[in-house]
Amino acid sequence: MAGVHELTVRYGDITVLKNFSAEFPDGAVTAVSGRSGCGKTTLLAVLLGLLRPASGTVTGFQRPSAAFQEDRLLPYLTAVKNITVAAGCTAQAAQDALRQVGFDSADSEKNAAALSGGMARRVALVRAMLAEGDAVILDEPFKGLDELTRTAVLRFVNENRRGRTMVVVTHDPRDAEDLGATHFVRM
Ligand SMILES: Nc1ncnc2c1ncn2[C@@H]1O[C@H](COP(=O)(O)OP(=O)(O)OP(=O)(O)O)[C@@H](O)[C@H]1O
């Protein structure tokens, strides 16, 4: 069972998480919710090993992949390259995946810096889903996507989860349901 135990996280003098514990069952989808600013993204950063807690332990999450709200793409690589470099897949696999989430071949060859916000979001999600690893961590994956695009992305995520443990931050109960969440963490 992956999880965090008695986690305390600080930014300077500000304590964001204090003795926080949660479980993320292996192979299940866990939806994480809570008011804005309560520390959801901070929790994800700890799960990914990007942020060191002041105290507490993290178990599981040996090789997680992630898509953050701000996408974190390499701006001067194409959409396809952003995926192949990080996920270690072929260009063909990246192109096929991008097509499934609504890209045409010209968009796939644009630099990330030239993509719209919703396109960059989709590249980041495809990258996270195609990456090898034992867990997938998604922060508000459908935020700002129109309904048709959301449907395509949702299908792509569900078809490419490969039974991995997934942690999804979302305010929307519909996201949790559509992703098949069976566990819920309220922060
Ligand atoms: N790098 C940082 N330096 C200082 N404070 C930070 C930093 N990152 C986040 N915080 C603060 O930590 C708190 C939790 O932020 P976090 O982004 O984890 O919240 P959240 O629950 O994900 O919010 P939202 O739902 O709005 O995305 C906030 O008060 C935020 O201002």
Distances (CA, A) of 186 to 45, 109, 170: 17, 40, 11
Looking up tokens 């569900």 gives 158
> Amino acid letter at 4?
V
Confirm if 179 and 29 have CB atoms less than 8 A apart.
yes
d(CA 183, CA 23): 9
Give me the CATH number covering residue 105.
Answer: 3.40.50.300
93 lies in some domain: yes
135 lies in some domain: yes
Write the CB contacts of 174 (distance below 8 Å, at least 6 apart in sequence): none
How confident is the model over 160-174, as a mean pLDDT?
94
Res 1: pLDDT: 82
The pLDDT tens digits of the residues spanning 126-160 come to: 999 999 988 999 999 998 899 999 999 999 999 99
5 lies in some domain: no
Is the CB–ligand 1 distance for residue 16 below 6 Å?
yes
Is the CB–ligand 1 distance for residue 163 below 6 Å?
no
Domains held by the chain: number? 1
Calculate how far, in angstroms, residue 49's C-alpha sits from the geometric centre of ligand 1: 16
Calculate how far, in angstroms, residue 36's C-alpha sits from the geometric centre of ligand 1: 8
Q: Which pair of tokens denotes residue 79?
A: 């959409």
pTM beyond 0.90: yes
6 lies in some domain: no
Res 71: pLDDT: 82
Q: Which atom of ligand 1 is nearest to the CA of 38?
A: 21
How confident is the model over 167-179, as a mean pLDDT?
95
Is the CB–ligand 1 distance for residue 37 below 6 Å?
yes
142 lies in some domain: yes
Is the CB–ligand 1 distance for residue 40 below 6 Å?
yes
Using CA atoms of 82, 69, 96, 99 in order, give the dihedral in degrees to the nearest 10. Answer: -120
How confident is the model over 73-90, as a mean pLDDT?
95
Res 69: pLDDT: 84
